[in-house]
Structure 1
């Protein structure tokens, strides 16, 4: 294997780096390149004389220049393109800029703007630092992973998608690699995971998106999405190849279709270290807001009546974790599940013989006998309004992708029976939200405790300003990945996910109306460190940690990569 242009040397936070490259090659390696910040002495030693403008600009000056460029870009996609270019030129500068302006830039590098970037992927294509695996060439998966140029001990995570369930825009084919790159950016900016220790991967299994199949510029496989046994065999081949090449890496599954997401997670969670952000990450952040809201009301989790509108991957993942938390309060699993009512596009999930539902929804099917005395809008149909009218839920969670489905009549009915309803319209992007925070607070006279999936501005109502909690997975997945890496966990267990949710909730103190159910995005580094400590401790308690936790706080801090230019050690050979 050719010599790599650099080598990270032992030391906290990747603060020392051996440089093997010289001349213009240094400027082409993002981890080495520091542009005009190279001192004159470094330029002479590295053979950069004459390749840069004369004036040396320290990192602080570069940050000012980069932020000015970002602000001057008018359209979100222009901002995205600028940041993507910066990431591919200068690793440290990109992550330092992102870390210092995370609340402003997260909607650009991740949802909602990344959805537009994914749709435009083939048109805007430029060199991507990731791995593309084709279902038409399963025998080349291992070669593709090795071609990325990392040794087995140098990779902690593979961020993997098959692009079927991208955000709220569905099947996006090979363009889904962008969602993996967005996750990688947040793992580093929010969680301090070394960007060199992660690999984005797209599993190209075709696409059912006819617009892409008929686009001459589309870069993915030009056939319908493969399903069934061949698909499962391909996933198995990928998992086995990944285990051979990077045996200590956690596989982060991202934006798979609902059926595949649950089946893959169930199949592999007891075999390898694996995590599905749409199932487990969403569940953890929603559970954190749930815990904070229930505590603010002075109630118990197990006393809540929960309606989940949209019983797909995310919705059932939320229900499963909330059941686990209620069991910790003393309920049996069956007793806890009876606190939940889940709806799909066909209405309430019940065990009626004529009703159809997916296997992962089965535990939440309500007994048909309990519906006999219900007052409904139409005989034999049990939709959201009917459920709310008859159940009087204390918590309403939306993961439906149906904009406006939390109608005024539904919310007013809920608020008529509950003093402080917890309402979470989680579908994103913003245009898919079940309701806006302004609507929810207006219809409940300011009594609702609200968390959303997309970012919303604060709401002013009756001289109170309400900070809207965004139940963004970025509150949990960076810390989970960091914690797994710190203790080198061999599995991601349910107690580890519950620990992540409780860690986030522990940072929330609601003492007055209008306070957020979740911490501030500006505080994500502290949140991620707190989550990582809790996750690592839970892993050790579960017996899945390979590295002992001698000093968890220090170990997490020492592991977190810092976006500063490292000390350069020159290879004299």
Structure 2
């Protein structure tokens, strides 16, 4: 029988490590190793005499040393490599350093630097982390998940990707494991999910990336991406095994392609605790920005007219969540749907084009009679015409078309609404539909703006306008925290709406120039607020398996803090 080198006992905020390992086996385990911070008594108890320098460091001293080493790295990729190395030898210290510099280091451990890390995965491969599941070996799924070493009650969260839609770089095959790792890093740093209660997974179904297939060093399945029934069977085998082995874990889908992301979520959402951040997380943070905008303007969401420019998985996911919120405010589903105009690569979605639309786009197709007189080139109706005709109060961009929100379009919108809500969400900055400084100038400072990428404040007519970043990290860590606290059976629309409302409450959007969303420099407090709201919503909907008797205390007690646990040698 395999005997674990240590066991963590106690609440997340007051852990004790019962350690069976001795000597170098302690130093090789990143969750046990604390390097020079081992006290003399701990060194004697764990057989570490002579294996470390004589001086005993405090954790603060170690943070100063590692911060200095981090800042000595020449570029973002080197900084990521340094942090990964630190994590591999001392995981608690890694998270302490990260938590103290989260705003600065988040772009290093996650997007955008993680994109370079993923592309270089096979060439820079070092220590394995996570679970690699191959479509060519479906019978090995359960054994691989078991081999990770967690029991049925030991796992709160699984992040899985098939790597088809990685960030802005597309199909990256087996290298997508790094997006799962990066996502879980944020769950831990921001949401307090314990780093040893999570599993990163890559579902290796092959790749259509010819650069990878032609690379002799590529480490994934060397064949085209498998699709169709065999793909569906593989996904089902994974979900079945994961659910059986880890019945209380939230299953998070990350960076799946447009043809699969929504389909997979809709298949398992009714019966599993599952979540797609690209769809639901993005939608929830946008809903939070809109909620904050409604507070600033004193208007109701149900009265807004919304144009979504970029009717793909993310854009329609946003529309769906805004529509559901309108229904909660009293509109029928049909009435709420009619308050949206969605545009894809061929212009406005209309009934005449129904045959070429994806199933999830069809509900937003505008009636044929409504658009009969609208001008359009080659039969397509563009954004300028839609803005002129529909007179939107909210304009959302998920198109990756830089400059699409042009000055004439924005001025037309601003002419018919006092406080236009404009959300150019495409990443990176080079693909943003409009620059915040232009939006503020073209609307004479009246626009309420949130972007997908970080931007500096904009100064206009004596007012500093802080530009909110619609960063999913404001939502998903707290969502995972709330789900784990009550062991929710599902992730409901009500829970996501509660998360968005909690984020919106933390903004000061009513003050001139204030951001629509809270900053990412204090994600732990944001995550705690979201976690409390999510847990309460789950309990109210009968989805909680753990009684919620003191939400604030229960959520805060569940948040792991990067502190060395008390050592008990056994």
Bin of the TM-score, shorter chain as denominator length: over 0.9
Indicate the residue corresponding to 2:91 in structure 1. Answer: 91
CA–CA distance in 1 between the matches of 2:228 and 2:567?
Answer: 51
- Partner SS, residue 395 of structure 2: strand
CA–CA distance in 2 between the matches of 1:73 and 1:421?
Answer: 43
CA–CA distance in 2 between the matches of 1:184 and 1:399?
Answer: 25
1:62-105: CA deviation from partner (whole Å, max 9, x where unpaired): 11111112222221111111111112211111111111111111
How many residues are aligned here? 570
Indicate the residue corresponding to 1:392 in structure 2. Answer: 391
- Partner SS, residue 107 of structure 1: helix
Aligned partners of 1:426 and 1:451 also within 8 Å: yes
- Partner SS, residue 360 of structure 2: helix
Indicate the residue corresponding to 1:536 in structure 2. Answer: 535
Aligned partners of 1:168 and 1:427 also within 8 Å: no
TM-score (norm 2): 0.98
1:165-188: CA deviation from partner (whole Å, max 9, x where unpaired): 111111111111111111111111
Aligned partners of 1:168 and 1:401 also within 8 Å: no
The farther-off stretch of 562-571 and 348-357 is: 348-357
Indicate the residue corresponding to 2:287 in structure 1. Answer: 287
CA–CA distance in 1 between the matches of 2:405 and 2:168?
Answer: 17
- Partner SS, residue 423 of structure 1: strand
User: Structure 1 residues 170 and 14, CA, compared in 2 at 3 Å: closer, same or farther?
Assistant: farther
The runs of 4+ residues in structure 1 deviating greater than 4 Å are: none
1:309-357: CA deviation from partner (whole Å, max 9, x where unpaired): 1111111111111111111111011111111111111111111156511
Unaligned runs of 5+ in 1: none
Aligned partners of 2:190 and 2:524 also within 8 Å: yes
- Partner SS, residue 180 of structure 2: helix
Aligned partners of 1:396 and 1:424 also within 8 Å: yes
Aligned partners of 2:269 and 2:490 also within 8 Å: yes
CA–CA distance in 2 between the matches of 1:70 and 1:418?
Answer: 48
Indicate the residue corresponding to 1:226 in structure 2. Answer: 226
CA–CA distance in 1 between the matches of 2:480 and 2:564?
Answer: 24
Indicate the residue corresponding to 2:460 in structure 1. Answer: 461
Give runs of aligned pairs for residues 42-53 of structure 1, distance below 5 A: 42-53=42-53
- Answering whether residue 54 of structure 2 is matched by residue 54 of structure 1, we say yes
Indicate the residue corresponding to 1:313 in structure 2. Answer: 313
Indicate the residue corresponding to 1:561 in structure 2. Answer: 560
Aligned partners of 2:295 and 2:510 also within 8 Å: no
- Partner SS, residue 299 of structure 1: coil
- Answering whether residue 502 of structure 2 is matched by residue 515 of structure 1, we say no
- Answering whether residue 275 of structure 2 is matched by residue 275 of structure 1, we say yes
CA–CA distance in 2 between the matches of 1:293 and 1:554?
Answer: 31
- Partner SS, residue 351 of structure 2: coil
CA–CA distance in 1 between the matches of 2:526 and 2:78?
Answer: 30
Aligned partners of 1:168 and 1:432 also within 8 Å: no
Aligned partners of 2:265 and 2:274 also within 8 Å: yes
Indicate the residue corresponding to 2:145 in structure 1. Answer: 145
CA–CA distance in 1 between the matches of 2:148 and 2:45?
Answer: 28
Aligned partners of 1:167 and 1:429 also within 8 Å: no
- Answering whether residue 348 of structure 2 is matched by residue 370 of structure 1, we say no
- Partner SS, residue 266 of structure 2: helix
Instruction: Report the CA distance between 1:510 and its aligned residue.
Output: 2.2
The farther-off stretch of 154-163 and 64-73 is: 64-73
Indicate the residue corresponding to 1:497 in structure 2. Answer: 496
Indicate the residue corresponding to 1:445 in structure 2. Answer: 444
- Partner SS, residue 8 of structure 1: strand
Indicate the residue corresponding to 1:132 in structure 2. Answer: 132
- Partner SS, residue 196 of structure 2: helix
TM-score (norm 1): 0.97
